[in-house]
Amino acid sequence: MVTPREDWLKLVEEETLEPDLPICDPHHHLWDRPDNRYILEDLVSDTSSGHNILRTVFVEASSEYRKDGPEELRPLGETEYVYGNSGMQGKTDIIAGIVGHVDFTLGERAGEILDMHIESAGGKFRGIRHASPWDADPAIPAYRNPPKGLLGDAKFREGFAQLAPRNLSYDAWLYHPQILELADLAKAFPDTRIVIDHVGGPLGIGPYAGRRDEIFPKWKEDMVALAENPNVVVKVGGCGMVTYGFDWHKQDKPPTSEQLAERTAPYYNWCIETFGADRCMFESNFPVDKASFSYNVMWNAFKRMSKGYSESERSSLFHDTAAKFYRLT
């Protein structure tokens, strides 16, 4: 992951567009690492940069784990850390939902650990992300080093089956060649709410570099198949990640919101038109996307890009879909 450069980000500063528009940011992280720090103070600084961020959802990031005890229980430390740092900021309880990690390959035993997360989060626990991004090429980052075909593994599905009885959702993080694997999982578990992170991970580095015109049609085809499952919604964002190959982080200065909206619109608008605004939610994916642009510029880009949608559609995209999916109302 590329570490954000605050001085570089300040080279492009913009007036906040539509500062009163209510927003729920359904995807950000927190971590305190020697080489890359993004703690509550940083989140509050970003969410206070001009836009009307009412609440957020934390998504697991393999950070702040317990340092001892059984391996399968160590991710509880992250849930405990985030809950302990999600208190009142002014009048806004900024982190309203927590998505943690449980190893679903534990099978039915994953249910016991889900209950521990729920108990640890003071009513804020909303779901799990057991990420599955896999590619045969070693140039592609493999978060958590999942095996090929994880979503179809029998033990994984045994653990996955523990979500619906507890009214918990699943965040899916994968790469675009794996979208049909998620479609198969969604079809097998129609009562489990699933959100695909970062518009399905269309890769643009390594063996996928320079092939955007070839990859885009296949990505659309597979996302259509995924959309056939009404239990699946989409997080619209994530194109600031370096794996997507836009290379903003290599430029002399960050993109403006106009430039950002123009480059990402083919992906974002297509998702909205295919799934519907009531099954799409804008996300920040901070601080990962912060490698490419600032929080204020990013939300300005979303606002520019969505101008053609109705008032109710924009309400869904910026707030209501996320609030409903994560049970924040």
Query: Would the pLDDT of 3 be above 90?
Result: no
Each residue's pLDDT tens digit, 62-73: 999 999 999 999
Each residue's pLDDT tens digit, 147-185: 999 999 999 999 999 999 999 999 999 999 999 999 999
34 lies in some domain: yes
Q: Which domain holds residue 75?
A: 21-325
Helix axes 295-305, 257-275, angle to 10 degrees: 50
154 lies in some domain: yes
User: What does the chain come to in residues?
Assistant: 329
- How far is residue 111's CA from residue 217's CA, in Å, rounded to a whole number? 39
Each residue's pLDDT tens digit, 240-294: 999 999 999 999 999 999 999 999 999 999 999 999 999 999 999 999 999 999 9
- How far is residue 285's CA from residue 196's CA, in Å, rounded to a whole number? 13
Within 10 A of 31 (CB to CB), how many other CB atoms are there?
15
Each residue's pLDDT tens digit, 185-238: 999 999 999 999 999 999 999 999 999 999 999 999 999 999 999 999 999 999
Tell me what pLDDT residue 90 has.
47
DSSP strand pairing (36-38 vs 31-33): antiparallel
> In the predicted model, what is the mean pLDDT of residues 104-116?
98
Query: Would the pLDDT of 91 be above 70?
Result: no
Confidence category of residue 89, pLDDT binned at 50, 70, 90: very low
Burial 209-232 (b: 16+ CB within 10 A, else e): eeebeebeeebbebbeebbebebb
The larger pLDDT score, comparing residue 177 to residue 4, is at 177
216 lies in some domain: yes
3 lies in some domain: no
- How far is residue 261's CA from residue 223's CA, in Å, rounded to a whole number? 21
321 lies in some domain: yes
157 lies in some domain: yes
Domain count for the chain, please give it: 1
Query: Would the pLDDT of 86 be above 90?
Result: no
Across all residues in the chain, what is the average pLDDT?
96
Query: Would the pLDDT of 306 be above 80?
Result: yes
- State the CATH number of the domain containing residue 275: 3.20.20.140
The answer, as to whether pTM is greater than 0.85, is yes
Tell me what pLDDT residue 87 has.
60
16 lies in some domain: no
Query: Would the pLDDT of 55 be above 50?
Result: yes
5 lies in some domain: no
Confidence category of residue 85, pLDDT binned at 50, 70, 90: confident
